């Protein structure tokens, strides 16, 4: 039996490297025209007009705890 020793270790197959292709980025969700207009305008208006029992009418951010700036009573929401 003849055993041959190669002078060099077996070379890896060159020129056939696995090329890892990054996955394509997901496309952005198509934005509806109304949504785009809303975003361009700075987002939805989360303020509401409150009319207090004291007769004072004011605009305040929508919240579960809005007090009348005139008499201080809590407003229903």
Which residues here bind Zn ion, judged by CB under 5 A?
Answer: 52, 54, 56, 68, 70-71
Q: What are phi and psi of 36, to 5 degrees?
A: -65, -40
Residue among 36 and 70 whose Cβ is closer to Zn ion: 70
What tokens were used for 49?
Answer: 């007009």
Burial letters 24-33, b for 16+ CB under 10 A, else e: eeeeeeeeee
Question: Shortest Cβ distance from residue 53 to Zn ion (Å)?
Answer: 6
Residue among 38 and 48 whose Cβ is closer to Zn ion: 48
Residue among 31 and 57 whose Cβ is closer to Zn ion: 57
């Amino acid at each position: 039996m003849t055993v041959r020793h190669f002078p060099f270790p077996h070379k890896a197959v060159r020129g056939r490297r696995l090329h890892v292709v990054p996955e394509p980025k997901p496309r952005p969700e198509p934005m509806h025209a109304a949504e785009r207009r809303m975003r361009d305008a700075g987002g939805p208006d989360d303020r509401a007009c409150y009319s207090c029992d004291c007769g004072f009418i004011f605009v305040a951010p929508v919240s579960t705890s809005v007090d009348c700036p005139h008499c201080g009573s809590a407003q229903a929401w």
